[in-house]
Amino acid sequence: MRAWRVTRPGPITSGPLTKHDEPVPRPAGDELLVRVLACGVCRTDLHVAEGDLPVHRPAVVPGHEVVGEVVEAGAETDMVGKMSTAVGSGAETGRLTGNTTGERFRPGDRVGVPWLRHTCGTCRHCARGAENLCPDSRYTGWDADGGYADYATVPAGYALSLPSGYSDDELAPLLCAGIIGYRALRRAALPEGGRLGVYGFGGSAHLTTQVALAEGARVHVMTRGVKAAELATELGADSVQEASGTPPEPLDAAILFAPAGELVPAALAALDRGGTLAVAGIHLTGIPPLDYRTHLFQERQLRSVTANTRDDARAFLRFAGRHRLRVSTTPYPLDEADCALADLAAGSVVGAAVLRPDLRSRRE
């Protein structure tokens, strides 16, 4: 099979990714082997490739927005599939390594392979339903090989059922961009009918904006991209400004999607009293000094977003099943994964880039 590996982490212009031909992986006892149908290209993949994030698995295959078809199941997956639906968050048993929905995936099923891949199920964070904070958490495309390949594996308990009515290309960005945006929106504590600011408008922001609008919010977008601004307007944003611009009204909540720490002071200053800014990315450049009275006084809050729980993922995918989201994608052949990441780094991708193993490379 074809697989792209991060062999030399560094600037995307230095060629950190190399393509390999290698055997199809074998699923471990609790895993599913899936044939990759589509894999979204996330900014986190760029951070892994460029070395912004520390190396967890040398020469890892990136990619954690994987839509795949189940090909084979490991020997233990029948047991995993029979776990009781009463397990809930896992606090009752202290174990979250299995499939807590009671689902049993079979060959031919279409499943999602997301970022979150493993949690211990026994620590105090897992016990209180905050498995995203588990010290033993592990992630697809960082700790284990991901979807920039023809095949990938996923622990059955972390595979996700997918809503109908979407193509493979459309589903892929939902598996991280959508899920993380959904959690960021909840962390931003937007009140009903509130005013939301969105800073940066890429794959995650364009999905989160639709969720907020569907829930009755007013949304103001700050972005540097001309095409991104056009998309924000088409989706129904109430206003669109430059990335460092000032929204036309005070904000009840804001989400920073751009990995630009210099935008934090502007976003905090745009908040009304009691407002919350949630930073959605796994990586952020340095934050300039904050002035207490301008940026934090009057109970303004600054919150980070760390991964997501499986409950977050399932709640968002249920929402996507009830509300047909418009998913803007740009397809790339799997053989051009390096080009897709370069375009993402340059800010030239509208919506979300998606790798397709079935597309013929333009290099041929």
Per-residue CA distances from 361 to 18, 19, 20, 294, 356 (Å): 15, 13, 15, 51, 10
Mean pLDDT of the chain: 91
- Scan for tokens 């284990």, then name that residue: 144
User: Does pLDDT of 86 surpass 90?
Assistant: no
Q: What mean pLDDT do residues 316-323 have?
A: 97
Rounded Cα gap, residues 30 and 154, in angstroms = 8
User: Does pLDDT of 88 surpass 50?
Assistant: no
Q: What was the pLDDT predicted at 96?
A: 33
Per-residue CA distances from 297 to 194, 255, 301, 337 (Å): 20, 19, 9, 45
pLDDT digits (tens, 9 = 90+) for 153-183: 999 999 999 999 999 999 999 999 999 999 9
Q: What mean pLDDT do residues 327-346 have?
A: 95
The 3-state secondary structure of 222-269 reads ECCCHHHHHHHHHHCCCEEECCCCCCCCCEEEEEECCCCHHHHHHHHH
CA angle 213, 217, 219 (to 5 degrees): 75
CA angle 86, 134, 274 (to 5 degrees): 95
Q: What mean pLDDT do residues 120-148 have?
A: 97
Q: Write the class of the CATH domain 179-304.
A: alpha beta
Q: What was the pLDDT predicted at 77?
A: 73
User: Does pLDDT of 198 surpass 50?
Assistant: yes
In terms of pLDDT, which residue wins out, 1 or 102? 1
Q: What mean pLDDT do residues 280-298 have?
A: 95
User: Does pLDDT of 94 surpass 90?
Assistant: no
Rounded Cα gap, residues 144 and 207, in angstroms = 27
Check: CB of residue 270 under 8 Å from CB of residue 220: no
Find the DSSP H helices in the chain: 43-50, 77-81, 124-127, 168-173, 179-187, 203-214, 226-235, 264-269, 310-322, 337-346
Q: What mean pLDDT do residues 241-252 have?
A: 94
Q: What was the pLDDT predicted at 98?
A: 39
User: Does pLDDT of 103 surpass 90?
Assistant: no
Q: What was the pLDDT predicted at 34?
A: 98
User: Does pLDDT of 128 surpass 90?
Assistant: yes
Q: What mean pLDDT do residues 238-255 have?
A: 95
Crossing angle of helices 310-322 and 179-187, rounded to 10°: 100
- Buried b vs exposed e over 175-184: b needs ≥16 C-beta within 10 Å? bbbbbbbbbb
Q: What mean pLDDT do residues 352-363 have?
A: 91
- Scan for tokens 């540097």, then name that residue: 224
The proportion of the chain whose per-residue pLDDT surpasses 90, expressed as a percent, equals: 85
Q: What was the pLDDT predicted at 273?
A: 98
Crossing angle of helices 203-214 and 179-187, rounded to 10°: 60
Q: What was the pLDDT predicted at 104?
A: 79
User: Does pLDDT of 193 surpass 70?
Assistant: yes
Q: What mean pLDDT do residues 201-212 have?
A: 94
Angular region, 201: left φ>0, alpha ψ -120 to 50, beta rest: beta
Q: What values do phi and psi take at 275, rounded to 5?
A: -75, 160
Rounded Cα gap, residues 199 and 267, in angstroms = 8
Q: Looking at the domain 2-166+327-356, which fold is it?
A: Quinone Oxidoreductase; Chain A, domain 1 (3.90.180)
Predicted confidence band of residue 78 (pLDDT cuts 50, 70, 90): low
Angular region, 63: left φ>0, alpha ψ -120 to 50, beta rest: left
Domain limits of the chain?
A: 2-166+327-356, 179-304
Strand partners, 247: none
Q: For residue 151, give the 3-state DSSP assignment.
A: strand
Angular region, 102: left φ>0, alpha ψ -120 to 50, beta rest: left
pLDDT digits (tens, 9 = 90+) for 46-66: 999 999 999 999 999 999 999
Q: Pick from 338, 342, 359, 334: which is nearest to 66 by CA?
A: 334
Predicted confidence band of residue 95 (pLDDT cuts 50, 70, 90): very low
Q: What was the pLDDT predicted at 319?
A: 97
User: Does pLDDT of 110 surpass 60?
Assistant: yes
Q: Pick from 148, 153, 159, 172: which is nearest to 34 by CA?
A: 153
Beta strand pairing call for 31-41 and 151-155: antiparallel
What is the identity of the amino acid at 195?
R
**CA 102 distance to own-chain centroid:** 24
Q: What was the pLDDT predicted at 347?
A: 87
Q: What mean pLDDT do residues 180-199 have?
A: 97
Q: What was the pLDDT predicted at 364?
A: 64
